[in-house]
Amino acid sequence: MTAIVSPVDTERATTVTLEAVVKDFGSNRVLHGLDLEVGAGEFVSLLGPSGCGKTTALRLIAGLEQLTSGVIRMNGEDVSNIPVNRRDIGMVFQSYSLFPHLDVLQNTVFGLQMRKVAKDEANRRAMESLELVGLGEFSERFPHELSGGQQQRVALARALVTSPKVLLLDEPLSALDAKVRVQLRDEIRRLQQQVGITTVFVTHDQEEALAISDRIAVMDAGKIEQIGTPEELYGSPSSPIVAAFVGMSSLVPTSVSAGRAVIWGVEVGVVGEAPDGDYHAFVRPESIRLAEDGEPGVPGVVETSTFLGSFRRSAVRIPDGSLVVIQHPTTLSLERGDKVRLTIDNRPVVVRPIP
Ligand code: ATP
């Protein structure tokens, strides 16, 4: 059995480290001293809005761009000046980037031919790689005879065929329609775990990042704002930027005094430092519920209520004008115009000054 189909190969799995990485394009500083450690066999997503520098960071790891300053290491070794073709990396891009005039097997075998692997051996490994992505039957088709999802699977097979140390994925799902995107997303995660390859995945889609990552680095304006497991980022965002970018929140006015906020009569903790004053608090839908009689709460009127299969999501207008989103079981049937009273769980909230 070759390395590619073996279970997690801890000896081969590689760490990737970025130390104080700075990248300028002319006078435009795009990365402002990025520090990142990706563990051996770990799946880390770079998540952030368009233009925050995710692709640039990935291209630096690949060796497709030169660092302005800082160091990139693989397994501790400084690779900053090693060219792309000697970094032992597999890459998949947003566009399928297959050779249109080559069939699926020829596309997949390409990287091995470049490395002068003997033809029989190269074809055998390419077929194994195609089996791995579920396309063993498609080896003689041409790219135009495949769906977008299948073309990305070929791109994945091609990236993995050389058993690279690191897999870099740059928005590989964004050209696909919603259903295929979810299928291939789960497939990528399954493959990554099966092969045990260290993977860095760039996306601006928070749901995608939450679904498949071991850890997510939320980036903003060329910096990492927070890095953590999906649960940590969702449950304990460390800043307004992360709270706003990851998951859904309602913005509720509150005032902070001595590090505590009062929301609808309930006193809650505040994440991080917040001097006394008026703020918006980020409140998750599942932190809000209907108040029982006698509980502190706020009155409101339902504006919309949407059936979402296993739960309902309703938007409630409260007297200060805020629209508050709650999530509740489908057994609670709310309709537009219903009068309700909301209360909030006593969990620490992220706050940001009212603009
Ligand atoms: P997106 O999700 O839109 O791809 P991103 O977070 O991946 O965004 P980058 O592609 O890394 O962002 O771009 C970050 C910034 O660097 C942008 O302002 C972009 O215009 C700039 N930039 C990227 N590549 C170059 C280049 N080759 N020359 C000049 N500026 C560049």
Cβ–ligand 1 distance for 53 under 6 Å, the answer yes
pLDDT score recorded for residue 93 = 87
Position 1 pLDDT exceeds 50 = no
Tens of pLDDT, residue by residue over 3-52, are 444 444 455 689 999 999 999 999 999 999 999 999 999 999 999 999 99
Tens of pLDDT, residue by residue over 210-264, are 999 999 999 999 999 999 999 999 988 888 899 888 988 999 999 999 999 999 9
CA of 202 to the centre of ligand 1 (A): 13
**Within a 10 A sphere around the Cβ of 145, how many other Cβ atoms?**
12
Q: Taking each helix axis from N to C terminus, what angle separates 178-195 and 119-132, rounded to the nearest 10 degrees?
A: 120
Domains plus CATH for the chain? 10-235 (3.40.50.300), 248-353 (2.40.50.140)
CA–CA separation, 90 vs 163, rounded Å? 8
SS3 letters across 152-214 = HHHHHHHHHCCCCCEEEEECCCCCCCHHHHHHHHHHHHHHHHHHCCEEEEEECCHHHHHHHCC
The terminus-to-terminus CA distance of the chain in angstroms comes to 60
Position 298 pLDDT exceeds 50 = yes
CA–CA separation, 315 vs 325, rounded Å? 4
CA of 208 to the centre of ligand 1 (A): 21
Tens of pLDDT, residue by residue over 115-141, are 889 999 999 999 999 998 999 999 999
The residue to mutate among 24, 34, 46, 54, having the most atoms of ligand 1 within 8 angstroms of its beta carbon, is: 54
pLDDT score recorded for residue 150 = 92
The residue among 171, 161, 78 whose CA lies nearest residue 121 is: 161
| 88 conformational bin, left if phi > 0, alpha if psi -120 to 50, beta if neither | left
Please count the residues of the chain.
Answer: 355
Q: What average pLDDT is seen over the chain?
A: 91
Dihedral angle computed from the Cα positions of residues 27, 29, 33 and 34, in that order, rounded to the nearest 10 degrees: -140
Cβ–ligand 1 distance for 217 under 6 Å, the answer no
pLDDT score recorded for residue 355 = 79
Position 186 pLDDT exceeds 60 = yes
